[in-house]
Chain A
Amino acid sequence: MTDSELHDMLTAFAGPPSPVPRRVRRRATPRTLLIALALVAMCGALVPAASALIHTFFESPKQFVSDTSHPARARALIENYLAHPGGPIRRPTLTGIEPELTVRTPDGRWAVYALRFAGGQVGAATVALDGHAVGGLWAGTTDPCPPGAVVETRGSFVEYPGHTPVYVEGRVSSEVASLEVEESDGRTYPAAIGNGYFLAWITPGPHASKPAGTLIARNARGAQIGAVDVGAGGAIPPSEAEVQPGCG
């Protein structure tokens, strides 16, 4: 990578000298309204059935926060999310939480929770149950692991460079039997998998604030399916043998 290549790219994407006006939305036509009405009617029939199924597994946020069988850190994370509806862009309304993974890591126990939001959005929360008070959650508009991927990374963070491991959380398909993070010096860290989710970590050295590693997915025979950079994130496509790719 040379400075000249970077300069060329920056020049190519510098764009016009003034801000580009935002696109103006088209007005709804009668046809659009008719389609919208039909969709609403369809949702009216389908959503109650789907919701009933979801609520057999997921607790509501209020139930979760008041349920003392859940770790205090996890309840605090959800309570904090509910208490701060967000800034200029409103956060989606959380409707359900389900525990997926509790893992012993070099920095104590960590847990992963699946989240459901109003409007069909999904997400996950990752929280440290011991040690430093670290946690976070994300919400997405689409399934986090659509067909075409056996591993998809989502949230990742490090709070105390050089001390707290870097954590990467995401979805994983049944084709993946094991996941591990391999550092450039060859050290490996096994990742935890369960219920279609994974939690991987990498412990940085005393001075490393940006440890680099590769998340490697293997099948039941130990063969490598694919790999993805821990820092950059992304997805690992399924092997050719996988008949029905997709997480969960």
Chain B
Amino acid sequence: MQSEPLPVEPESQLAALRPLVVRTVRLVVGAGSAIAEDAAQDALVELDRALPRLREPAAARAFAVRIATRVAVRAARRERRFALLGLRASAPERLATVRPDDLVELKEAFDRLPPRQRATAVLRLYVGLSEQETADALGCSVGTVKSQLHDARATLTAHLKEGSDD
């Protein structure tokens, strides 16, 4: 995801940051889940309230990523608990109808990763943050970011290998 200079006005900043926030939350919570869309909305509301109070407009993007990540991980954990209880809010609403099979398989395996591993992968590989920026957004060390990403790759590789063996 490309990073572009942000406008100074909070309203314009929110509009510019919306795609980043919405897509980050959606990918961490699980694209296709109604809960992800609700969480994305929650993150936008939180960002809308917080942006006018932000003293350093240049930090708005990092600030938005932190909010999106926090809201998404919280929602993803809640979703996992509900999944354990069999209380998913609704059946996933597919955002796209036709996808190559391997992408769908990878996506399904990705959605089964722990929320923080998903968040790490999204921030590093989709949003394009550095290891340090990812660590700042997640409130953890760079070493943790590396190990989370390593674990995510290993789990996904194992899932896909298992799938291809069947």
Chain B interface: which of A16-24, A32-40, A185-193? A16-24
* Bound: A123/B86 CA distance, A: 9
* Bound: A16/B94 CA distance, A: 12
1/0 contact string of B16-30 vs chain A (CB within 8 Å)? 001100110011000
Q: Find out whether the CB atom of A89 lies under 8 angstroms from the CB atom of B89.
A: yes
Q: How far is the CB of B127 from chain A (nearest CB, A)?
A: 9
User: CB of A240 within 8 A of chain B?
Assistant: no
Contact for B84 among A20, A92, A155, CB less than 8 A: A155
Contact for B23 among A15, A91, A123, A137, CB less than 8 A: A15
Q: Find out whether the CB atom of A1 lies under 8 angstroms from the CB atom of B23.
A: no
Q: Find out whether the CB atom of B151 lies under 8 angstroms from the CB atom of A15.
A: no
* Bound: A112/B150 CA distance, A: 35
Q: Find out whether the CB atom of A17 lies under 8 angstroms from the CB atom of B18.
A: yes
Report chain A residues within 8 Å CB of B110: 6, 9-10
Contact for A22 among B18, B34, B112, B125, CB less than 8 A: B34
User: CB of A60 within 8 A of chain B?
Assistant: no
Q: Find out whether the CB atom of B106 lies under 8 angstroms from the CB atom of A20.
A: no
Interface residues of B in 88-124 (CB under 8 A from A): 89, 93, 95-96, 99, 103, 106-107, 109-110, 112, 121-122, 124
Report chain A residues within 8 Å CB of B84: 136, 138, 155
Known: A11-B126, A19-B44, A232-B159. A91 touches B103 (CB 8 A): no
Tell me which of B87, B95, B158 has the highest count of chain A C-beta atoms within 10 A of its own C-beta: B87
User: CB of A97 within 8 A of chain B?
Assistant: no
User: CB of B157 within 8 A of chain A?
Assistant: yes
Q: Find out whether the CB atom of A13 lies under 8 angstroms from the CB atom of B85.
A: no
Report chain A residues within 8 Å CB of B144: none
Contact for B85 among A19, A22, A139, CB less than 8 A: A139
Query: How many residues of B are counted as interface, with CB atoms below 8 angstroms from the partner's CB atoms?
Result: 45
Q: How far is the CB of A12 from chain B (nearest CB, A)?
A: 5
Closest to A121 in B: B86
Q: Find out whether the CB atom of B126 lies under 8 angstroms from the CB atom of A7.
A: yes
Contact for A10 among B22, B93, B109, B125, CB less than 8 A: B125
Q: Find out whether the CB atom of B85 lies under 8 angstroms from the CB atom of A91.
A: yes
1/0 contact string of B135-156 vs chain A (CB within 8 Å)? 0000000000000000101111
Q: Find out whether the CB atom of B126 lies under 8 angstroms from the CB atom of A14.
A: yes
Contact for A6 among B22, B44, B121, CB less than 8 A: B121
Tell me which of A16, A92, A155, A212 has the highest count of chain B C-beta atoms within 10 A of its own C-beta: A16
Q: Find out whether the CB atom of A231 lies under 8 angstroms from the CB atom of B26.
A: no
User: CB of B54 within 8 A of chain A?
Assistant: no
Q: What range describes how many residues of A lie at the interface?
A: 35 or more
Q: How far is the CB of B41 from chain A (nearest CB, A)?
A: 5
Known: A15-B23, A121-B86, A139-B85. A10 touches B44 (CB 8 A): no
User: CB of A104 within 8 A of chain B?
Assistant: no
Closest to A7 in B: B125
- Using a CB–CB cutoff of 8 Å, the interface residues on chain B facing chain A are 18-19, 22-23, 26-27, 31-32, 34, 37-38, 40-41, 44, 82, 84-87, 89, 93, 95-96, 99, 103, 106-107, 109-110, 112, 121-122, 124-126, 151, 153-160, 162
- Using a CB–CB cutoff of 8 Å, the interface residues on chain A facing chain B are 1, 3, 5-23, 89, 91-92, 121, 123, 136-141, 155, 210, 212, 229, 231-232
Q: Could you show 29 A-B contacts with beta carbons less than 8 Å apart?
A: A1-B156, A5-B106, A6-B110, A6-B153, A6-B156, A9-B110, A10-B122, A10-B125, A10-B126, A12-B107, A14-B23, A14-B26, A15-B31, A16-B95, A17-B18, A17-B19, A17-B23, A18-B22, A19-B38, A19-B40, A19-B41, A20-B95, A89-B89, A92-B87, A121-B86, A137-B85, A139-B85, A229-B158, A229-B159
